[in-house]
Amino acid sequence: MTIATPDIARLAASPDEVLARLFTSMNVDGVYGRTGAYEDVVDGLGRYIGTLRPKGAEVFRFPPVVSRALIEKSGYLKSFPHLLGCVCALGADPKRVTDAVARYEAGGTWADSAEPSELVLAPAACYPIYPIAAKRGAISDTLLFDVASDCFRREPSKDIDRLQSFRMREFVAIGAPVEISVFRDQWMARAPEIAGDLGLNHSIDAASDPFFGREGQMVGRFQVANALKFEMLIPVRSPESATACMSFNCHKDHFGLTWGMNTVDGEPAHTACVAFGVDRLAVALFARHGVEVGGWPKAVRGKLGV
């Protein structure tokens, strides 16, 4: 279901220009060093998103790694095993370390000797918040959070809008079904305001997550049929094919059941998250308004404070 249609607007900078001027190659697809000019805009987006923070939301910033157990229990492994990155290490065993380094120095590989640790790379910013909220006991008023982390997804690509390492900021709500569904819908209704503030063309469309395998495709169809996920699409690489820069997700009782989070009436809590793809929004801004921030519309610079 398309709610709004993007008008085909000119993009001021091509993906190659954005790449050349704002990123620097690190010789791995989807992993880039970022220039000061780019980071100034990322900081501006951080401040701007802060002005949108729901009243009463508690702030947490999470590291780029989370416990493997948390991701396993959350169901990520079942749904997106192909995207997950695991931290492996040689550890402290002197023999293992010496053998591995010697093998590398003899022209072989050391990495085979590394063992999976208790850590995985965070695939989204919101996963750690559910067990934290679960410890608070039965929920009477909706719990609101503002969370962020560096995220990793194993989807190497040469496109500037599909990174392996990128930043995500999310507003999360946990509470009774009706309030949670209203939270998600109200944020979707604010998409035109957000896109307008940033001077970006947008459309909203129903979406599904890239669940793994045949069974996963069915879950994806269920998501669309039940309107569980919507995306804000913004032209980044070409005016015609837009990129998901924000998503509006309703998880129903999935995390409530997983973490034993209940509302005061004893029912499983529902959860929703509104995700800002910070790097995608930054790239979209440069693509739309040009690689020189000095040339951007005054109103947009004002909103970002850049």
Binding positions for ligand ATP, rule: CB under 6 A: 124, 153, 155, 162-163, 166, 168, 209, 231, 244-247, 275, 277, 279-280
- Smallest distance from ligand ATP to CB 17, Å: 19
What amino acid occupies position 289? H
Q: How far is the CB of 248 from ligand ATP (least distance, A)?
A: 9
Backbone angles phi, psi at 247, to 5 degrees: -135, 150
**Is residue 146 within 8 Å of 171, Cβ to Cβ?**
yes
Q: Taking phi first (over 0 means left), then psi (-120 to 50 degrees means alpha), and beta for anything else, what does residue 27 get?
A: left
Strand, helix or coil for residue 59: strand
CA 153 to chain centre: 10
Q: Measured from the CB atom, is 100 or 200 closer to ligand ATP?
A: 200
166 binds, among Zn ion, ligand ATP, none (CB under 5 to 8 A by kind): ligand ATP
Q: What angle do CA 246, 237, 247 make, to 5 degrees?
A: 10
Which of Zn ion, ligand ATP, none does 304 bind, CB closer than 5 to 8 A by kind? none
In the complex, least distance from residue 80 CB atom to ligand ATP, rounded to whole angstroms: 9
Q: Which is nearer to Zn ion, 151 or 195 (CB)?
A: 151
Q: Shortest Cβ distance from residue 301 to Zn ion (Å)?
A: 29
Chain residues binding Zn ion by CB under 5 A are 124, 126, 170, 273
Give the SS3 label for residue 79: helix
- Comparison of 184 and 288: residue with beta carbon closer to Zn ion: 184
Residue 209 binding: pick among ligand ATP, Zn ion, none (C-beta 5-8 Å cut-off by kind): ligand ATP
Pick the closer one to ligand ATP by CB: 168 or 200: 168
Q: Report in angstroms the alpha-carbon separations of 49 from 1, 62, 141, 194, 197.
A: 27, 17, 23, 9, 11
| Measured distance CA(188)–CA(246) in Å, rounded | 10
Q: Are 237 and 113 in contact (CB under 8 A)?
A: no
Name residue, tokens 């959860």.
271
Nearest distance from C-beta of residue 209 to ligand ATP, angstroms = 5
Residue in the shown chain whose Cβ atom is closest to ligand ATP: 277
Residue 163's binding partner out of ligand ATP, Zn ion, none, with CB under 5 to 8 Å set by partner kind: ligand ATP
Of 100 and 232, CB closest to ligand ATP: 232
| Element housing 123 (H / E) | none
Enumerate the β-bridge partners of residue 32. 25
Angle between helices 36-52 and 15-22 (to 10 degrees): 100
Which is nearer to ligand ATP, 30 or 131 (by Cβ)? 30
Question: Which partner from the list ligand ATP, Zn ion, none does 126 bind, CB cut-off 5 to 8 Å by kind?
Answer: Zn ion
The least CB distance from residue 256 to ligand ATP, in Å, is: 20
